[in-house]
Amino acid sequence: MKSDAIMIKPEDNVATCLKDLQKGQVCRIGVGSESLNVVAQDAIEFGHKIAAKDISPGQDILKYGEVIGRATVLIPQGAHAHVHNIESLRGRGDLAGEGQ
C-alpha cells in the first residue's frame, strides 16, 4: 500500500507529504518497510511536513536523522510542521547580539 507521507529515518519526528492531505484524513506515514497512521490535524500540501508525534516547545525537529530546527510551540501529532511552529538555529543574525 502506498504511503501518504515519507519519514526518512526512524528517529525523525516529521514526515514529508507525498500528496495533499485534508484535515481529519488518516495519513499513512512510511518509514522504510514500516508504517504509522496519524490523523492530519490541518490541511497539508504536497511536499510540506506533518508531525509524526507530539513535539514539545523547544524540542529539536529531526529529518534525515538530523536537526533541522526547533519547535517554537507544541506541535501535536498530525499537525502541519512549518515556519509557523519551527525556527531555524542557523544564520540567526537577529539573535547574534543576544548571546542566543
Partner 1 sequence: MEFKGYKRPDGSVGTRNYVGVLSTVICANEAAEGIAEAVKETTAFTHHQGCCQTPIDIQRVNETLVGLGRNPNLAAVLLVSLGCESTDVEQVAREISQSGKPVETVVIQEVGGAAKAIAQGVLIAQAMVTEASRAERAPCPLSELVVGLKCGSSDTTSGLSSNPAVGVLTDLVVEAGGTVIMGEVTEFIGAEHLLARHGKTPEIGQQVIELTQRMEQRAINMGFDIRGGQPTGGNIKGGLTTIEEKSLGAIAKAGNAPVEAVYEYGQKPQVKGLVIMDSPGREPEILTGLASAGANVIVFTTGRGAPQGFPFVPVIKITGNARTWEHLQDHMDFSVASVMEGSESLPQAGQRLLQEVAEVSSGRMTKAEINGYTRAMDIYMVGPVI
User: What is the contact surface with partner 1 in residues (CB under 8 A)?
Assistant: 2, 6, 8, 16-18, 45-49, 61, 63-64, 66-69, 81-83, 86-97
* Residue matched to cell numbers 496519524: 38
Smallest separation, CB 48 to partner 1 (Å): 4
Q: How far is the CB of 47 from partner 1 (least distance, A)?
A: 4
- Residue 31 CB, nearest approach to partner 1 (Å): 14
The residue (of 2 and 56) whose beta carbon lies closer to partner 1 is: 2
Residues constituting the chain: 100
Cβ pair 7, 15 in contact under 8 A = yes
Q: Where are the alpha helices (DSSP H) in 7-86?
A: none
Q: By C-beta, is 56 or 91 nearer to partner 1?
A: 91
Strand partners, 58: none
Phi, psi of 22 (to 5 degrees): -90, 150
